[in-house]
Amino acid sequence: MTELTKSDQGPDAATAQSAVANNTAEPAPARITQWGEIRHRFMANRLAVVGLVLVALLFAIAAAAPLIATHDPYAQDLTNTLADPSGDHWFGTDALGRDQFSRIIYGSRIAVVVGLASIFLACLIGCVLGALSGYFGKAIDSAIMRVADIFFAFPLLIGAIVIILVMGRGVLPVIISLGVFSWATVARLLRSSILSVREMDYVTAARALGAGTSRIILRHIMPNSIAAVMSYVSFSVGTAVVAEASLSFLGIGVSPEVPEWGNMISSARDFLGVKDFLWAYPSAAIVLTVLGFVFVGDGLRDALDPKLR
């Protein structure tokens, strides 16, 4: 690891982010754990820290939504519709007089739940199939990779729409549809990473010591291959949040009365150019969420393997 850190400090190692924010890592202490090293590199990346703060903020808001919201997100007030932002309604009210601020706060819950659950599902399928594929190779590998190719051939939204047509609208169908059409990349990443780790000496050593297949995969191969998957996971949570909002925006995601950012933006289309605050605030919520996950993903990628840049 120390060797990698040295090359990291070279004047040539700067990447796209470094122009905006980069503190080169301080010289590593003599002995340091691998994860300590990774955390150190991650925290030295200013953009990654900004991302981490945004993501933490999102989780906190989603968890404490009832405490933060100033109104009931479902409560309609037909005497006070389309009100401009004010002291009582910080982000104004929508066409049914519902408080926009509270709806945005509650909307974070859908974003968190769908983003995490769908990518968790994708990781579950992708890691199992990718590990099998990479470790056993040959016929199993080709079979699994052809199936992955098939799922990879569907653009995410189009694939998701097909599943939603079968299952109907709602949070669960959205989660499943996004997970089912996201696992292929996880499987591919893990497979190729395992292929390069599989022939390492320590794996041969473990095998020579009589370790079983599952022990070799779980204890020796996975911890060293998971790096490739981790930064992808962070990116794809952001992608899943956008995809979920896009589906709701198209009117095939979660039901329209649910406080959800895509829904809010979609219903604001009727007041475009007149009441722009109706879509500007939920849009800002989406953008900050996605940027948070992208920055964390960028930071993780650079921290986990400086060579990759």
Partner 1 sequence: MGKYVIRRIGQMVIVLFGATLILFACLFVLPGDPVGSLGGDKARDPAVIQQLRERYGLDKPLVEQYGTYVSNLVQGDLGEDYTQRREVTEVLSPKLGNTAKLAVAAIVIDVVLGILAGLIAALFRYSFWDVLVTLLTTMAIGFPSFVIGMILQSQFAVNLGWFPLISDGSFNSLIMPAFTLAIIDAALVARLMRGTMLEVLRADYVKTAIAKGLPRRTVLLKHVMRNSIIPVVTYIGISFGGLLGGALITEAIFNWDGIGFALVTAIQQQNNPIIVGVVTYGVAVFVLLNLLVDLLYAVLDPRIRLS
Distance between CA atoms of 174 and 185, rounded to whole angstroms?
19
> Rounded to the nearest whole angstrom, what is the least distance from the CB of residue 102 to partner 1 in the complex?
21
Distance between CA atoms of 90 and 25, rounded to whole angstroms?
42
Which residues within the stretch 116-175 sit at the binding site for partner 1 (CB under 8 A)?
146-147, 149-151, 153-158, 161-163, 165-166, 168
What binding mask, one character per residue, do residues 249-288 give for partner 1 by CB under 8 A, x or -? Answer: xxxx---------x--x--xx--xxx-x--x---x--xxx
Q: Are 75 and 99 in contact (CB under 8 A)?
A: yes
> Rounded to the nearest whole angstrom, what is the least distance from the CB of residue 78 to partner 1 in the complex?
26
Calculate the dihedral angle through the C-alpha atoms of 212, 215, 221, 222, rounding to the nearest 10 degrees: 150
- 75 near partner 1, rule: CB under 8 A: no
CA distances, 244 to each of 73, 161, 182, 224 (Å): 20, 11, 13, 32
H runs (alpha helix) in 64-208: 65-68, 100-136, 138-152, 156-167, 171-180, 183-198, 201-208
Of 198, 78, 79, 82, the closest CA to residue 138 belongs to 198
Q: Which CB atom, from 222 or from 240, has the smaller least distance to partner 1?
A: 240
- 195 near partner 1, rule: CB under 8 A: no
- 30 near partner 1, rule: CB under 8 A: no
Q: Which CB atom, from 12 or from 201, has the smaller least distance to partner 1?
A: 12
Q: How many CB atoms lie within 10 A of CB 30?
A: 6
> Rounded to the nearest whole angstrom, what is the least distance from the CB of residue 14 to partner 1 in the complex?
8
> Rounded to the nearest whole angstrom, what is the least distance from the CB of residue 153 to partner 1 in the complex?
5
- 222 near partner 1, rule: CB under 8 A: no
Q: Which CB atom, from 58 or from 69, has the smaller least distance to partner 1?
A: 58
Where does this chain bind partner 1 (CB under 8 A)?
A: 12, 15-17, 19-20, 47, 146-147, 149-151, 153-158, 161-163, 165-166, 168, 238, 242, 245-246, 249-252, 262, 265, 268-269, 272-274, 276, 279, 283, 286-288, 290-291, 294
